[in-house]
A and B are shown apart, each in its own frame.
Chain A
Amino acid sequence: MHHLINKHNEEWQLADTQSSDQAQIEWRDAENWQPGQALKLPVDAEINAQWSQASIIGIDFPALTDGRGLSLAVLLRSRLHYAGDLRGLGAVHEDILHFMVRCGFTSFELPESRDPEVALSCIAPHKQYYQSSVVDPLNQFDRV
């Protein structure tokens, strides 16, 4: 089992993985996926316009140091305008969450070995950032 972290009323929380809407996600890979289903992507996937119709998209990180999933997330949000839940899967690490959040991820499967309280405590280490991102169109050059 893993810990599920998502947002509830704009606050990050440790979700109940047994609840009805989270318990049984049937992930499909891109080849076996239909609109309306849950789509699980590898970090090197090339985007497909149809994917904006997924019920949820998960990106499977092979290692905490693999940043390809971050670019893929940005493309799903900015290029496909995918608006549904975007979930980090695989090698999700508490210290990468804040980068993932700013690339458009909205939920995470944190491996069981990680401490979810630590993850929640470092999910937003900064009040503001230098760059614009898919979750904040303003950068410091716009704000001043």
Chain B
Amino acid sequence: MYQYTEFDRSFIAERVNHYREQTTRYLDGKLSEDEFLQLRLRNGLYLQRLAPMLRVAIPYGTLSSKQLFALGKVAREYDRGYGHLSTRQNMQFNWPELAEVPDILADMAEVDLHAIQTSGSCIRNVTTDHFAGAAADETIDPRPYCEIIRQWSTAHPEFEWLPRKFKIAVTGAAEDRAAIGVHDVGLRVHRSDQGEVLFDVYAGGGLGRTPVLGALVRSELPIEHLLTYLEALMRVYNRYGRRDNKYKARIKILVRAMGVDGFRAKVDEEWAHSKNGPGTLPSAEISRVEAFFAPPNYTEQPDISDALAEQRLANPKFSQWLQHNVIEHKAPGYAAVTLSTKATGVPPGDVSDTQIDAVAQWAADYSFSEIRISHEQNFVLPHVPKQYLFTLWQKAQAQNLATANARLITDMICCPGGDYCSLANAKSIPVAEALQERFDDYDFQYDLGELNLNISGCMNACGHHHVGHIGILGVDKKGSEFYQISLGGHAGHSELAPSLGQIVGPSIPRAEVCDVIAKILQIYVDLRIADESFLGCFKRVGMAPFKERIYAPSH
């Protein structure tokens, strides 16, 4: 993991002091609501439907045990004993007192955490693959470059007041678990035959009310030019992005208006002035940052295949958990483990302080004190020796974190929705709960196989419904909550281009959502060939058979 320098620490401390002073001015009436809004957003504080919400940045979803224990303490002391894992790998607290937020941030700073730029029209916390550095399908660990981007984008003088929020994601694996295609800038990092670190840069992707996949604007950008190129791109967006209508202010609208070629040419023209100038990364520095992410000290692990086989035989639930929540690791004898927050009856991503503490302790005991947060809103322990899997599973079971549903239908992504969020048109958590209850039968889930179901409570799409194999979007129809279903969305894979879901048909009232989803699943089961996945089946048969049967009059 990256280790803060003296500079990082003093910067964060200065930022807390500055924000404390801004909060005081606001409380003293020296800053208006609108003025303070801009400042608090850039320090992670939203005012929500019921109370403020503080979003703490987890840079590229990576945390230490010590940091996670500190977050557990925040949940206990400032929240009501809960935290919420967001779809952008951050952690949110729902009930902090506005006046206490500077104290929370000071506590966070003690463990090198902050809430800088987790909201507002600026460059947001950079995200990546939650299995970075661990996954067997990875070609290059993206975290060093995420850290370089984190540093460059923190309080950038020129890009703090953009037309709209700006999200950057990086991936270095075959499967795109960071969903780079639906980010303002997506970076695919790879290595040339000569070993040079290169980036393919995609721009203008995004969800929201105008979902669009990012376009390739530059391929094979050498690492030393990463920041000067990003700076040129950001400058074009900052200068020419629309500011007259917030719904048309994201970079995707600019890329569309200029055309991909026009946008690329404008960025190149800008970059021609700064390429090789200040901001060019010295190779010694790249190596220095890379060194922070050197693999932990893996040790030789005993062959426990016989013991595992016995444990699996005696414990079918453990066996299912191994199959679904444990993935192959780069290092022999190790595995990466998903601790699912999606137990039936629990809002997706909600975790109690006790659970947070438990995960922090397990990470210390079994995973080199390292934790990840996935954009599917689960905890990940990235480097667990296989010999401890059974013990870890037993402990996770006791904390309700061992639901064996990673990547299955009940591992749904869900935004806070109308229960908490002031933007939402409809509730999303009750829909998720109803679906969890309906499809609680694990044999049924396992038979369905990999199936991402994503729910957003409004078209801002925080629940990423456009890239769910099944997407559910809450809409408001004359004051009632309705839901629009889409099929066939996917965040992308080296062998499968990302795609946006297609809308099935007219939206439906909440009471019918479970039945319609059940119909969709039945259609898939009827049409699939052998072990074809839901997505594979949909790609083959298309929308027509689904549409036909979903809206067919019942007999």
Contact = CB atoms under 8 A, between A and B. Distances in A.
14 contacts: A44-B239, A70-B157, A71-B239, A95-B22, A99-B155, A101-B157, A126-B11, A127-B10, A129-B155, A129-B157, A130-B156, A141-B151, A142-B282, A142-B285
Nearest to B154: A130
Nearest to B243: A66
Most B C-beta atoms less than 10 A away, residue of A78, A125, A141: A141
A144 interface: yes
Given A70-B238, A143-B7, A144-B285, 4 more contacts: A67-B161, A122-B18, A126-B155, A139-B151
Given A99-B157, A99-B160, A132 B278 contact: yes
A141 B285 contact: yes
A126 B35 contact: no
Interface in A63-81: 64-68, 70-72, 74, 78-79
Contact of A74 (B158, B160, B281): B158
B273 interface: yes
B30 interface: yes
Contacts of A96: 161
Given A95-B35, A125-B14, A67 B160 contact: yes
Contacts of B278: 132, 137-139
Contact of B21 (A72, A78, A79, A122): A122
Interface residues of B, number: 41
A40 interface: no
B159 interface: yes
A90 to B, nearest CB: 14
A67 B238 contact: yes
Interface string B26-39: 00001000010011
A130 B154 CA distance: 7
Contacts of B148: 141
Contacts of B281: 141
A142 B284 CA distance: 9
A87 interface: no
A102 B7 contact: no
B5 interface: yes
B161 A65 contact: yes
Interface in B1-33: 5, 7, 10-11, 14-15, 17-18, 21-22, 25, 30
A141 B11 CA distance: 15
B152 to A, nearest CB: 6
Given A95-B35, A144-B5, A70 B161 contact: yes
A140 B14 CA distance: 16
A130 B22 contact: no
Interface of B: 5, 7, 10-11, 14-15, 17-18, 21-22, 25, 30, 35, 38-39, 121, 148, 151-152, 154-162, 235, 238-239, 243, 273-274, 278-279, 281-282, 285, 288-289
Contacts of B39: 95
Contacts of A137: 278
Q: Is the interface of A mostly helix, strand, loop or mixed?
A: loop
Residues of A in contact with B, size category: 35 or more
A133 interface: yes
A115 B239 contact: no
A125 B235 contact: no
A101 B155 CA distance: 13
Interface in A27-83: 44, 64-68, 70-72, 74, 78-79
B17 A125 contact: yes
Contacts of B158: 67, 70-71, 74, 99, 103, 133
Contact of A64 (B14, B35, B155): B35
Contacts of A141: 148, 151, 281-282, 285, 289
A118 interface: yes
A94 to B, nearest CB: 9
